[in-house]
Amino acid sequence: MEQPNLSYIESMSGGDKAFEQKLIDIIKAEYPSEKQVYYDNIAEDNFKAAAENVHKLKHKISILGLEKSYELAVKYEHNLIENSKEGKEDFESILQNITDYLETI
């Protein structure tokens, strides 16, 4: 599985470490609650809301340099819109991967 990284954030910052840290802090603040809302909605088989949650989480997946994971999230979001949980395990592995990474930075 690909690993999250800060390459995209670093490329956007132009070397401004304060800007990089601000983005990291925002992700660390928002991610846990966004992830939990997704889990709550998927547990209730609320496919439409879960698809919206995945859509929102995709941006963080992208910002953390996870290109392949982003594509999996796009497919999973589409499946949810079609009332299918196909791709759920892969998506939730991505979420765990991000959770583990955010604890290290």
pLDDT in the model for residue 1 = 77
- pLDDT number for residue 38: 98
User: pLDDT (tens digit, 9 = 90+) per residue, 32-63?
Assistant: 999 999 999 999 999 999 999 999 999 999 99
Q: Does position 98 have pLDDT exceeding 90, yes or no?
A: yes
Amino acid letter, 72? L
Q: What's the pLDDT score for residue 95?
A: 98
* Residue-by-residue DSSP string for 29-61: HHHHHHHHHHHHHHHTT-HHHHHHHHHHHHHHH
pTM metric for this prediction: 0.93
Percent of the chain whose pLDDT exceeds 90: 98
Domains present along the chain, CATH in parentheses: 7-102 (1.20.120)
Give me the pLDDT at residue 85, please.
98
